[in-house]
Structures are given as C-alpha cells and as structure tokens.
Structure 1
Amino acid sequence: MDFETVAAPYVAKPLTLVPFRAVMLAPGRVGDPASARALARPYRDVAARLTRWIDQRRATSDTAPALYLHEYTSGGMTIRGLVGALDVSRRATTMADRAVWPHEGIHPEQAGELADRMLQMDLNPAPILLVHHGGAALRALLTEVAAARPEWRYLDRTGQRQRIWAIRDDEVLAQIEVHLAAARCLIADGHHRYAAYLRLQEQHPGTPWDAGLAMLVDQLDTPLFLGAIHRTLTGTTLADLTGAARAAGAEVETRTRQHALSALDSTHLVLTDGDDWRTVEPRLLEREAAVSWLHEQVLPRLPRPVDRIAHHHNVDDALSATGRTSPAVLLPSPDFDQVRALVEAGGLLPEKATSFQPKPSLGVLMRPVNDA
C-alpha cells in the first residue's frame, strides 16, 4: 500500500504548549460511544451542540485557560502527560531544529478531510499523543503538581480512571516553558490530525489555528506500551509470501503453531494461513524495523501486488481474518529507541507501523478553537 508524507511535516523548536480553556464532557459521558454523536455530522453544528450540552450540564467549560496535567489509568497502566495547545506556527529548516517528529507516512486526502472537519467544528476534539524523554527537573515539577488535589477525578464509562490538574500559576507555567523549549518528541498517535493542524495553520496563519491540541507523555516516567500492528494480505498466498521472504534474504522455517508463536520476538516474524506456520528471520533486523523490512523488502518481491492490507492490533484478530488467499504476517513489537533513532536519522515507518497504548478516552479534554 502506497503512502505519502505531508509537505513540511516538522514543527520547529522551541516546543511550546500554550494554555487553553478546556471543554470536558460530564464524567458519566466520557468514553460513552453515544457521546460521539456530539462530534458527528453535521460538523458545522458541533460548536452549538456543545454549548447546549454545557447548558444542560452534559459538558463543562473551564473557567480560565490552563495547561492540564492529565493522568489516566487503564488496564493497570497509568499514563500522565501535559495537555496544551501545541504551537505549530514555525517550520524547522534543519534536522537539529525539529521539535515534533512524525514516524509514519500519512494520506494527504485524509489529513485534508480532518482539517475541513475541525474547521467546521471549531474544535480540536482530542489531543494527539506525543512522547519524549523528559528531563529530571520537569519530572520533579510535574510530580509536585500531582501531589496536590486534582481539580477533576472520576471513573469514566470505559473504566479509565481520570485525574486532571489545571496549571495556571505563572511561575510554574514559565518553568514548564523553559523545560520544554529544547524537547524533541515523537508522534505516538494522531499523525493525520497533526498533518491537519499544519494544513489549518498554513490556511489561517495568525489565528488560533496556529496551534493544535496535544498531550505530551514522558516515556521515562509513565511509558506508553509500544505494540505491533499485524497484517493480513488479501490477494496473495502463504507460498508466495514464503518465497518473497526467502528472496529478501531471510531464513524461513516451517513450524508448529505453538513453536511459531513462541518465536515471535524482536528478530522474527511469523507467516501463517491459519493451517501452516512459518517463522521468518531476516538478516540484520536489529538495524531495521520488522515492519519496514516487510514493506520494503518482501512485498515488492511478491509475484503480484496484494489486493488489500488489513491492520490488526492483536494476534487473535489477525488470525480470525486469515485464509488461504489472505495470509497473516505477525510482527514483533517495535522498540521505542529503535523507532526514535530511525526517525531522527530522517526515516519514516510505513503507515500503521506502531500501536502506542493505552490512549485516553474521548471527551476528557477538548479545545474549542473559537475560544482559544
């Protein structure tokens, strides 16, 4: 599957998170699928719809702009990060100037659709997720913030436990600004929304569209889990995949299901049609992400291009979609430092290469752009 990268995809240093006045769904509606209708078509009515929800106490609007320290716990994992309006008004001209690093390609048409939708809504409905290796001073500062009583604390409809602190103290905000100035962060989730932010900024410079909602997580403090996204390939066969992998220089072995699944690690991939199983060991995989090797070395060597690539966030889902003409490729979980090194060397991974989890529930913090 071809993908393209958005033009000028790099925001320049200093990394800046700007305070904003958040809109929040009522705790009983956060994560509720029915609440998604507040953000559904017609998009031009969303702003008025949210205003009605605030009047009906189905949502609330904060009293003043703030940066927000947002902590959520899901499935035993606790993630904490700063939420603010990311300044996207400056473009980097050198690699050293880059503050935000995408690691996947995007479809410009999809980014354009998202930009049009946000413009009609006058809203950033959810933050993109950014990860970085924060400094000890910033971690200490945010730990101090988190020691106070949170302004909002609740269990949402999905079972996520939410805690939110509003940071308005000028001195604390100034310290955060200094600590973030030289930060380099990787986009963990929201590549197309990030591209939409850039498009809106280019179309409306000098307006609140100079920023887009983002959550910055310190991967050294409360790390997100980095998992693989597996593939099923419609229009090819296990035999053709096996031949292409061998032609790409990999060692391929026939294994039992149990042996194959147990071999899925940082140096092996697994191919299967549900009946037969192969382990694949590419050469020098420690220098290249497995998903990149698949797309760059194996798929071009197939006798004919696949009809469709489907993506699956867990092995069971991939196997349930597998058949004789839609074999599965099970991929190892990528390594964060490997991904960051690849990106900072100027590379990109294929679309849907990584899965950072868990993500926050929809509706915790939203940014109304007409009130930014």
Structure 2
Amino acid sequence: MDPSAVVTPPYVAGPFALAPFRALMMAPRLVGDPSSARAFARPYGAVPERLDRWRVRGQLSRDDTPALYLHEYTAGGITVRGLVGVLDVSRRAAAPAERAIFPHEGIHPAQADELADRMTQMALNPAPILLVHRGRSETREILRDVRAEAPLREFTDRAGQQHRLWAVRDDERQALLAEQLAGTRALIADGHHRYSAYLRLQRRAPSTATGGGLAMLVDQDDTPLFLGAIHRLLVGSRYDDVRAAAEHVGLRFQELSPVAAVDALAPDTLVVTDSARWAALHVPVRPGRLAIEVLHEDLVPALARGPHRIGHHHSAEDVLAHAGPETGTAVLVPAPAVDHVLRIVAADRLLPQKATSFQPKPSTGVLIRSLRDV
C-alpha cells in the first residue's frame, strides 16, 4: 500500500459504551504547560517509569477508584463539558445501521500504526479523543445532578483554560448513563488517527486494556464546540491557474477588491487571492455537498500547475501571510455547519482531510489512562 494513501478507518459497532477507569492526573501547575510534553517524549518505553517518578514528586496523581469523569473546561469564552471514559472499540460494524462512531475524514495507515506503537510502548492513552453527539435531555439531567455536587478538581491551567472535574463513581448513576448512551451515534471531532490506533491495538492483541480507548463525549446541544474553517494554500499554483481551472470546470470566478472578496465568503463562495489580486469563486453546491469538496474534487484536479502541496491554516491572517505570486494561492473556505457534517457521514461519505476545526480542545494532562491499570 502507498504509505501516503488515505483510507477510511473502520466503524465501531454499538451499543455505544464508556467504561469507568482510574485516571492519572497531572498537577494543575503542569496542565497546559508545553514543557509537560516531556512526560510523553522518547524513549516511549521509559514513559511509565518517568510517570512513576512524577507521582513520587507530587507532579502526578492517580485516582484509586474507577470512575467516569465529567470534565468542564473554558477557553476563549467558550465552555465545553464532556463525559470521559473508556470507549468500547471491541466490535466492528458489519452494516451502516450498526455504526456507533462516525469518522468524517480519512487516515494515513502508517500514522495510525506509529501511534499504536507509541501507546503500546508508553502503556498509555495520553489524552481522550473528542466525540460530539446530539444528547438526550434525560442524560443532561443526570449530568446536571453531578454538577450540583462539589467538583473533584477545580483550577486554571498554565494555558489559561479553566477546568472543573467531577468523578461519577455511583453504580446506579453509571448504570443510568450507560442506558441513556447506548444508542448514541457520535462524530469524531478530533483524534481520527488516535481512534484508528485504538482499533489497531485491539486487533493486535485483544484484551481488557486494548478493548477500549480514552474518549470525551460532548453534547453539542448542551455546550457546543465551535466549528471553524481550515483555509488552504495551494503551494506552486498561481492565481491565473486557479482562474483557468475554475473556468474549465464551469465555476464563476469574479475578480473583486480585497474587502468585497472577503465579504463574499459564504457557504457557496470561496475567496481566492495571491495577495495582489482577489476573487470570489462561486461554487454552486448541491444538497449534501460542501464547497470544500468542490475545491478538492473538481478544482484542484483541473489545475494546470501544482499544487506541489496543500497547506492548512486555521486563520485567514495566517494563510494570507503565506500567499504570494511566487509562493502560492490562498483559498479562504467557509466554516461548515455541524448538522451538515453529520448528514454527510450518515450518508456514508467522508470530507477531505482537515476540512473542520472543532474548538476549543482541552489541555493535555487533565485525564490520562494507563493501559496497565485495568
């Protein structure tokens, strides 16, 4: 197989289940500190011993009783809450109706292999993958009762994120949550390659430890994640190349002033610029298709030159700073709606890689799962 190939990760079958675990938790002063990444650095086989030393020094703690955890974090004025546990990945879906977890982009097998190898050596899931779903009111009521109690931890980390954490240990409450969540169909918001690594670990050596992977489930109707765009830089493709390709595939290319072009950005309109010239690229999209799909499936293949690579930028300012007549052409992309993404994955389709940016993501170190502690 071509190591650069992108493939669809397998689908996990329901019922959806999050199991309790004994969390490892970094000391609040270390959460959000870039230097804390050294805990998970090479050599990966030394990570368990390294974390044991951190525990002795008071830099890491271990919860003695397995629990599900309700994690609330606030960043940039956005508050997100998610239920964290060990996602059951032991069953594969044989038919679409059985699917419980929905990826929305493909993965590179070699990268998933590398992550699986790394987790094996570290004997850890260092951080939860991020899942979103449309939750039930009954589930929200249970979690409201949890939040009425005193949090297990409450702190502001080094990156400025505010955190509150509750442990759900009560057997009856865990059983109610399991019943409520069994029919969940969740979208992977962040962590496609880690999700795929979980599946590879389970296939390699099925066990209690590898039958699941750490995940956070966010109710998009309760505390919605912000869904932003990821803009493109067509490196090596000129402005005139993009205009010619647009005309070739029947898209309207309208040259405008910079302000008018940016104002035209819409679900059916992209913005094209090399920093010297600007245009609105009108992309009539049929129902169930996004403008970014037209860009990748129709426009890019029709280019007469390049791109040598496609750069991905989370802000318009960043991609515009890299655009130029001799470097590449920037394409500003509209942000998709969550429901539109959900409809696409329900129709058994994937989006181009890095088509979405769910924000904010929690800082690493709040909740870690040891694969040896099961």
Please state which band the TM-score falls in when normalised by the shorter chain: over 0.9
Instruction: Give the secondary structure class of the aligned counterpart of 2:276.
Output: coil
Partner of 2:335: 333
Q: Give, as a single letter, the amino acid of the residue that structure 2 aligns with 1:348.
A: L
TM score, norm. by length of structure 2: 0.97
- Counterpart of 1:20 in structure 2: which amino acid? F
How far does the alpha carbon of each residue in 1:135-179 deviate from its partner, in whole angstroms, 9 at most, with x for none? Answer: 110011111111111010000001100000000000000001001
Q: Does residue 50 of the first structure (1) align with residue 89 of the second (2)?
A: no
Aligned to 1:186: 187
Distance 1:286 1:279 in 2: 21
Structure 2 CA distance, aligned partners of 1:285 and 1:308?
28
Deviation at 1:246, TM superposition (A): 2.5
In the superposition, the TM-score normalised over structure 1's length comes to 0.98
CA distance in 2, matches of 1:92, 1:226: 28
* 1:213 aligned counterpart, secondary structure: strand
CA displacement at 1:286 relative to structure 2: 4.8
Deviation at 1:330, TM superposition (A): 0.6
The alpha-carbon deviation at position 358 of structure 1 amounts to 0.2
Query: How many angstroms does 1:264 deviate by?
Result: 1.2
Q: Confirm or deny: 8 A CA contact 1:3 1:351 kept in the other structure.
A: no
Please list, as runs of the form range in 1=range in 2, the aligned pairs for 1:243-258 lying within 5 A after superposition: 243-258=244-259
**What is the aligned partner in structure 2 of residue 165 from structure 1?**
166
CA distance in 2, matches of 1:3, 1:74: 35
C-alpha contact (below 8 Å) 2:8/2:105 kept by paired residues: no
User: What residue in structure 2 maps to residue 97 of structure 1?
Assistant: 98
Structure 2 residue aligned with 1:262: 263
Distance in structure 2 (CA, Å) of the matches to 1:285 and 1:244: 20
Give the count of matched residue pairs: 371
Structural RMSD (CA):
1.3
Between the aligned partners of 1:69 and 1:114, the Cα distance in structure 2 is 26
Aligned to 1:128: 129
Q: Matched residue of 2:210: which SS?
A: helix
CA–CA distance in 1 between the matches of 2:106 and 2:5?
6
The answer to whether the 8 A contact 1:236-1:326 is kept is yes
Structure 1 distance, partners of 2:317, 2:25, is 35
What is the alpha-carbon distance in structure 1 between the residues aligned to residue 48 and residue 307 of structure 2?
A: 42
Tell me, yes or no, if structure 1 residue 70 matches structure 2 residue 71. Answer: yes
Report the more deviating stretch, 86-95 or 284-293: 284-293
Give the superposition deviation at 1:261. 1.0
Q: Could you tell me whether the CA contact under 8 Å between 2:288 and 2:344 is conserved in 1? A: no
**How far apart, in 2, do the equivalents of 1:188 and 1:155 lie?**
24
Does the CA-based 8 Å contact 1:204-1:210 persist in structure 2?
Answer: no
Q: Supply the distance in 1 between the matched residues of 2:117 and 2:208 (Cα, whole angstroms).
A: 16
The Cα of 1:3 is off from its aligned counterpart by: 4.5
Mapping 1:1-372, distance limit 5 Å: 3-6=5-8, 9-284=10-285, 286-324=287-325, 325-372=327-374
Q: 8 Å contact 1:238–1:272 — kept in the other structure?
A: yes
In 2, the alpha carbon distance for the partners of 1:148 and 1:104 equals 38
Q: Aligned partners of 1:281, 1:257: CA distance in 2, in Å?
A: 16
Structure 2 unaligned segments of length 5 or more: list them: none
Report which stretch shifted further, 239-248 or 229-238.
239-248
Determine if contact 1:249/1:283 at 8 Å carries over to the other structure.
no
Amino acid at match of 2:30: R
Paired residues of 2:288 and 2:343 also in contact (CA < 8 A): no
Contiguous gaps of at least 5 residues in structure 1 = none
Name the CA distance, whole Å, in 2 between partners of 1:215 and 1:78: 14
Helix, strand or coil at the partner of 2:91: coil
Cα distance in 1 for residues equivalent to 2:249 and 2:143: 48
